[in-house]
Structures are given as C-alpha cells and as structure tokens.
Amino acid sequence: MTYQKTLDYLYNSVPMFQRIGGAAYKEGLDNTQTLDEHFGHPHRQFRTIHVAGTNGKGSVSHTLAAVLQSAGYKTGLYTSPHLVDFRERIRINGKPISQEYVMDFVERERGFFEPLRPSFFELATAMAFRYFADEQVDVAVIEVGLGGRLDCTNIISPDLCIITNISFDHVQFLGDTLAKIASEKAGIIKPGIPVVIGETTPETKPVFMAKAEEVKAPIFLAEENDREDYPGVDFELKGIYQEKNKRTLFTALPLLKEAGYHIDEETVREGFAHVVELTGLMGRWQKLQDNPTLVCDTGHNVGGIQYVAQQLMQQKCRQLHIIIGMVNDKDISGVLSLLPREAKYYFTQASVNRALPADKLYELATEAGLHGKAYPDVKSALDAAMKESLPEDFIFVGGSNFIVADLLNIEH
C-alpha cells in the first residue's frame, strides 16, 4: 500500500474520533493493554511526561518538548489531532514519523490488530510508543487524547503529570459538571508522581486535591506559584491564553530538574522562543499573512474561545472579519455568545462528518445577534473575506480544529 492508501485504510477500517465523533470512543484500556503487551511494553524503554487538560495541553506539550530538545534530549512528542498530515501526531525532535514507518507498521501488524478492532487512537498510540522505543528517544512528552482515566496513553509511568485546566468539552463522555470532568482528567494522577495543575475552579480544586492525597502524589498549583525564574522570557506563542500555559510550565520545570533533567536557563529561553520551529506546532494564534492580517486558532470550546474573543476585541483594525465553523457536539450557543458583535461573519463548515452545517450555524448565530453569510466550505469563506477586506483589516479563522485544518490545507 502507498502512504495515502495506508492512511485511507487506517481512517476507514478503525473508528476515528476526529472524523465520526462518539462512535469511535472506546471506554476502557483492554485493547491498549493487549496492544502494549504485543509490542513488548515499549513505553517502558524511555522516560515520559504526561499532559492532560481541556485547553492548553497541546501548547504545553510542544513547549516542554522544545525545552527538552534545546537541552539536548532526543525528544518524542505525541499529540492529537493532526491538522494537515497524520504524521504530525508522532514526532522526534520536531521531525514527523516517516511515511515508510507508518506503512510498514500497518502492513506488518494488520494480522494482529484487525481481529482486535482497536480504535484509531488506540492504534496510533501503540504505533507512537513502538516508534519512540525503536528510535531510542530519551524522553517523550505524551498528550492525553480524551479525558485521562481511561485514555489509552494512561498506561505510562511518567516522571511528571500536568493537567492544564478543566472546562466543558466532550461532556457526553467525561461528564456534565466540571467536577465530573476533573475526576476523569485526575485519572492520570499516579502514586508518588508529582502533578502540576495549571488552573482550578471551586468545583475542580477539591477533586484534584483529594485524588493527589489518595495516591500520595505531590501536587503543585500553578496559580499559587509566584516564582519568576525566567524574567522577560520571549514566548513565541502569542495568544492571551498562553500566559496561563507559561505559568503552568514555570511550575513544571523545577520539578523536572528535581527528577534529574538537566535544564538550564539558556535552554528554557531557547525552547520558549522557538516552539514552532523546534516542534512544528501549528494553529495556536498562528499568523499566516499581513495586509490584511490573517490569523487562525484551534480554540473550539467555551474555555478556549473566551480568550480568543478577548484577543480579537483587542485587535486594532479597520474591520474585523471572522470565518467560523464548529462541530455539532460542542456548546454552540455558549461559543456564539462570546464572539464580538461588530465583526463581519462568514459561517462555514469543515470537511468532516461532525461539522455543523453552515446554514444551521448561520441561523443560530443570527439569533445570537451576529451578522454575516453562510459559505459551503472554508475556501469559499476565505475567498469572500479576502475580497471584502482592505489591507488594514483583520481576518480570523477558527471555531474548530477542522476549520483550521481545512485552511492550512488551502495554504499548503
């Protein structure tokens, strides 16, 4: 099979959450443990850091990887979802896994995993862990896929756990209160392993404290950390929300040093300043052009959009244009209520089955007091926005990972 045929096979023969949503979600770790045993428990061959949370876990994971790379560690990075190519999920020192490895892995192991019927994420996780072991990484930063307790990354024994924050997302699986969601995310807290909590609320803090106490895990709240070890650090990721991620990282770094990692100030500054170049991160307040300014961001739930909206309202421009699409399992009305009223809107839909139809989003947005038109896909929405913009305008594209993915596929 060619690389493209291998991907088509993966996407179509194992259930993929990115494409079909809930039907791809498999609760429990049975498949994961069977796969892990088959591949020889590869995650035991390298050190790991585990990162969970509703928002910010991608930025925190990439920045940690950038710092570790700058410190000279051969660093694996496992994240999801991908925006342009599956290989973005599995990287070593910023370089994506090779097409050949993906093809060989699937071809060689099909006979084993087909009867098992794993989910796409279970299979991708097994591939990542085996690849990192084969390539003899020193350490891998592992981002949780969904939740924590039953996520298939939760078989690792990391040096450090990080939970960035909790807000409402994937409520159909994780629970419909912040405390229930926190309880699922807290499932990555392990006996004796330090955990950093980026943000808490009155509902989530007691959940984290109780879990840490139960398993005797040292717990560190970033909100209570007023250390400024790296004054004036240049953080390449510029969204307002990155300030909280920065504090989470500043709380985590001394704990990694205590765990024996050799990280000095120079490597921290280098990592923070060059996250994108070192790790290939995309879609975090990413500027794609000037005159008019074009920016995209993958924030896609109320917790993420509140910071995006705040940032949009601070933009100095003649006219703000917002291209937005969402998937159908999010809190649509909650997101729409946060967006600036004075912008010109281009309601659209991503090229995935879970996309909320553009005309439906247009109806809901109109009821919420937003004004604009519906477009069948991201390209037609972008073309319209470019046509209606002057050089001093600002165009924002977002609302969903998949909208940003479609945009970046146009750009590429």
**Minimum mean pLDDT among 153-167, 172-186, 187-201: which range?**
172-186
* pLDDT at residue number 4: 95
Chain segment 46-73, per-residue pLDDT in tens:
999 999 998 899 999 999 999 999 999 9
pLDDT beyond 90 at 258:
yes
pLDDT at 186 over 70: yes
pLDDT tier, 329 (very low <50, low <70, confident <90, very high otherwise): confident
pLDDT at residue 12, as a whole number: 81
pLDDT at res. 119: 86
The pLDDT-based confidence of 20 (bands split at 50, 70, 90) is very low
The pLDDT of residue 240 is 85
How confident is residue 22, by pLDDT bands cut at 50, 70 and 90?
very low
- Predicted TM-score of the model (pTM): 0.92
Distance in angstroms (rounded) separating the CA atoms of residues 21 and 356: 12
Does residue 380 carry a pLDDT above 70? yes
Higher-scoring residue by pLDDT: 11, 197: 197
The mean of the pLDDT values for the chain is 92
Given the candidates 3.30.930.10, 3.90.190.20, 1.10.600.10, 3.90.950.10, the CATH classification of the domain at 286-411 is: 3.90.190.20
- Tell me the mean pLDDT in the region 339-359: 94
pLDDT of residue 168: 67
Q: Is the pLDDT of residue 322 over 60?
A: yes
pLDDT for the residue 15: 60
Q: Which of 146-160, 185-199, 356-370 has the lowest mean pLDDT?
A: 146-160
Instruction: Write b or e for each residue in 373-396: b if 16 or more Cβ atoms lie within 10 A of its Cβ, otherwise e.
Output: ebbebbeebbebbeeebeeebbbb
Sequence spans of domains, the chain: 3-279, 286-411
The confidence score (pLDDT) of residue 17 equals 42
d(CA 205, CA 208): 5
pLDDT tens, residue by residue, 26-37: 567 899 999 999
Contact 369, 341 (CB under 8 A): yes
- pLDDT per residue as tens digits for the range 109-166: 999 998 888 888 999 999 999 999 999 999 999 999 987 888 999 999 999 999 999 8
Q: What class is the 3-279 domain?
A: alpha beta
Q: Which two tokens stand for residue 142?
A: 């592992």
Confidence of residue 18 (pLDDT cuts 50, 70, 90): very low
Kindly state the average pLDDT of the residues 178-207: 94
199-210: average pLDDT: 94
Q: Is the pLDDT of residue 239 over 90?
A: no
Percent of the chain at pLDDT > 70 equals 94
Mean pLDDT of 397-409: 94
% pLDDT > 90, the chain: 77
Residue 260's pLDDT is 98
